[in-house]
Structure 1
């Protein structure tokens, strides 16, 4: 019998893990490269940098609203290994379009390619999470999700770093970033060719191509499953919370820490590493059985360490002159160390919180509707992330409230939501387990 610790070396799991990893890597290499191209004016553009960056963020998330429900139907109807390979071929085509944008210096082609990458991720999402319960045994599901979350965190971090390195090292020659994203897409497609053929679960399903109607129907279906709906709300709250903090890290670094862009990268790295560590520890501490034991610990950490971060920022001394770098930040110690520790612990808490919820979503979703449940999850995630942006704008820009207060408000909201969620979730999980055993 295969041991859980070795699922990463199995033909069942490894090709899917690598396909997901290189997809997330390419997303972030391309997004980071585009951000730097816009910020440093490496191609001709019209409009402010801030407007273009926000437009780019909107274009990437917009497909989740439009196409998620249809993507879920397709993932339930058709054989999933074939779908993954087809989507990976589409990624190669998208990167060739991006290459044309880079080489022609056309920002609108690059933004169109970004929208297509968001569409690619939208169609891949329901497949990758619906496929895990098919390729893994029940006692491997927690391990699989932990590895998926850890791999995604590493891919996001590596993508941001690689995108920056290629742009800076190429000294304005955008051929190199074009080659980079195209090669990564090809590697992802090669990995997808080794994914085992899957059983289809709803071959008689008729795909509804009316995107908005399908989205409402998918959300309504998720709402009809009380346990699943609560799990999706828990997942989406995590994305609201994470987006609130990650979006503010550049501003926090510049205004509160008086740090350079390298300090921004350091803090993002600490947060990503924290999520990866928390995801792996979640499986080690919580066990292999799908359960919610670690969710309360994650919820407590998301509240306590948010307050810890806000308190640490209050003790950062006022500075003038040049922005500090990473080495100076480490040498200053004191409150700076506390900020770094708090951000790392927030990431670890996030891993504790999200891994069990994703495993529960896969384990308890009806097999015939599993991909559509994941699609509903993606729609709710997108809604909560947009709500996070509006919430932060109101707090910081409209009400002119300090960023430390924003963190404290978010911490209090997180505590209130988590208490409500766990009080509702525990009895439903217990009754569902009992019915499954019977």
Structure 2
């Protein structure tokens, strides 16, 4: 089935009002916060120490509610209709907006900080409901696109709110317009919140809210650990906010002291970074064809490491006077710096969107709010750690800004190593996705025939040496590959294949022990609820035609009866990895990046899954005209 563009979700009632409401909320938070910082910096005469103290206090007061109340908010999100939560919180935002008016006009720092704490408190309660609502209103194939739009909207709102807040707070006359804008945005956000469809909880709504934060956090983490990969994904998302905090916080100083740019350079770099995040988020939805593709996560981490390092090594400015954005980006070095910043954002979008979708998709509906609350707490914690890390590097160790940015960029590789060691599937998916995308133009049909959960045996024709990678890239779930032992034992490939959980097999007449061990491993994998891929022809095709199926899989089904899914590989004969030209991989550039397809047929019940029946089904799939949809 073809996936529609995620932008179409904006037109639908189940997503459009929600998107606008959360966008306006993020915009208002940053509009008020940056206005406060500008008023403090350029208002009444204050020392640099006093300004620094107030700025740090403002940052702390906005984050503090996430530590204190996010878990309570997650508990509420799991027991109350999320539409009702969003409406009440947007109404609270209206009250805060009205309170912001006298605070800004009077310039009273204590009152402004109190209002900022209120905005932080409202955001802490809003975040779990905001993210846990998505899986209720979106289908699984829309979840990546929905998260992409949310990330795009969030960063654009942060950027625009920061810029507008700084401009409007710079003069007393514009300050009145700023107050009116904050109030109007809050009211408009409430109006859109009223059109968000209901999202009722899946558990008992009479359950009491536990106000013991420590006990609630322990129970939530214990439940999250029961679902493999979710806690790791939360930590990986939190690393993204660590990196973002370091980059965005140090960007003004780096632009001035290293790049030699004035405030306009900072604004442009912030803008293109946000645009990069948005572009990467939307690109993620496009590249993953609407499905959850965790292979993009390592790719994103590598990209952030590479371009983050290049940005850290940006050449220092030679002049004494600060240059404007026009002068800076007219130079070759300025263009390269801008390109590095936008690509950090693009790869950041590729990194974070699949992780957020994974957390939402894998978490049970009755735990989703608390899971997103744990995510909020960890995000806030990593942001605080990022600030402390910057202080240690810059103040205590007295290292340069370039060193700080370089260490942060290289931290992506450390995070990647931790992720891959804990869950090798991330790296394997990246390899399969890259091979599928760079070698061919892969189109997939029949993904809906693959079971979402539980065991299954996939049988496919065998045309090239990378059939297993193409089928793995096409599948919505990880596959266990059964492959010829001499191929498995290739020194370069063996570590990767072992990581992928491949099962080596040899014909019984070649290696009786290996054959028995492979059959036992296949049966155990099926008992464990996994999908197992078998090439029943037993060898690579020499002619491109379908060969006689062997019956070994029938003996597996006799002991472990599971559904059998026939799969057909289209258009691969004659490509570089096939034996069309004798030995494979001897004719470079043969049908490179040609259109090929993977088609999954309807499942066959184990009682009817004979070699003859499955061979006929796959032959029929190969014979008909290819209608492969992305």
TM alignment of 1:1-400, pairs within 5 A: 3-5=4-6, 6-41=8-43, 48-168=50-170, 170-171=171-172, 174-202=175-203, 203-311=205-313, 313=314, 315-320=315-320, 322-331=321-330, 333-400=331-398
Task: Report the CA distance between 1:214 and its aligned residue.
Answer: 2.7
3-state SS in 1 of match to 2:183: helix
Does the 8 A contact of 1:286 with 1:293 survive in 2? no
Per-residue CA deviations over 1:180-239 (Å, capped at 9, x if unaligned) read 111100010000010111222222432112334433443444344431111101111111
Q: Deviations over 1:331-384 (max 9, x none)?
A: 3x1322221111111011100000000000100011110010000001111111
Q: Is the 8 A contact 1:22 1:185 kept in 2?
A: yes
Structure 1 43/290 Cα, relative in aligned 2: closer, same or farther at 3 Å?
farther
Distance in 1, matches of 2:376 and 2:290, equals: 25
Deviations 1:279-336 (A, max 9, x none): 000111122111202112101101101111122x2x233221x3211111123x1322
TM-score (norm 1): 0.93
Q: CA deviation at 1:30?
A: 0.8
Q: Contact (CA 8 Å) 2:260, 2:317: kept in 1 or not? A: no
Is the deviation greater in 183-192 or in 416-425?
416-425
Q: Distance in 2 between matches of 1:182 and 1:192?
A: 15
SS of 1:235 mapped into structure 2: helix
- Do the aligned partners of residues 107 and 317 (structure 1) sit closer, same or farther apart at CA in structure 2, a change above 3 Å counting? closer
Secondary structure of the equivalent of 2:78?
helix
| Cα distance in 2 for residues equivalent to 1:20 and 1:426 | 35
Higher alpha-carbon deviation: 353-362 or 210-219 = 210-219
Does the 8 A contact of 1:299 with 1:414 survive in 2?
yes
The worse-fitting range, judged by mean Cα deviation, of 196-205 and 343-352 is 196-205
- TM-score normalized by the length of structure 2: 0.66
Structure 2 residues without counterparts, runs of 5 or longer: 430-450, 457-528, 530-630
Shift of 1:47: 6.1
Cα deviation, residue 422, structure 1: 2.9
| Cα distance between partner residues in 2 of 1:45 and 1:310 | 31
Deviation (angstroms), 1:413: 2.1
Q: Whole-Å Cα distance in 2 between the matches of residues 254 and 47 of structure 1?
A: 20
Higher relative contact order (CA 8 A, sep 6+): 1
- For residues 64 and 50 of structure 2, the distance between their equivalents in structure 1, rounded to whole angstroms, comes to 21
CA–CA separation in structure 1 for the residues paired with 2:396 and 2:51: 21
SS in 2 for 1:367: coil
* Distance in 2 separating the partners of 1:42 and 1:190: 37
Cα RMSD, aligned residues only? 2.3
Once residues 28 and 174 of structure 2 are traced to their aligned partners in structure 1, the CA distance between those partners, rounded to angstroms, is 19
Unmatched segments (≥5 aa) in structure 1: none
1:77 partner SS: coil
Structure 2 residue corresponding to 1:408, chosen from 387, 406, 423 = 406
8 Å contact kept, 1:166–1:176: yes
Offset at residue 32 of structure 1 (A): 1.3
**d(CA) in 1 for partners of 2:243, 2:46:** 35
CA deviation vs aligned residue, 1:219-273 (integer Å, no higher than 9, x gap):
4443444311111011111111111111110110111012111211111111111
Gap change, CA 1:185 and 1:44, over 3 Å in 2: farther
Greater strand share, structure number? 2
Distance 1:46 1:177 in 2: 26
Moved more, 349-358 or 418-427: 418-427
Query: Compared with structure 1, are the counterparts of its residues 8 and 253 closer, same or farther at alpha carbon in structure 2 (3 Å cutoff)?
Result: same
Q: 1:73–1:371: 8 Å Cα contact kept in structure 2?
A: yes
Distance 1:249 1:177, change over 3 A: same
From the superposition, tell whether residues 37 and 216 of structure 1 become closer, same or farther in structure 2 (CA, over 3 Å): farther
Q: Distance in 1 between matches of 2:310 and 2:350?
A: 18
CA contact under 8 A between 1:316 and 1:335: conserved in structure 2? no
Say if 1:134 and 1:342 are closer, same or farther in 2 by CA, change over 3 A. Answer: same
Larger Rg: 2
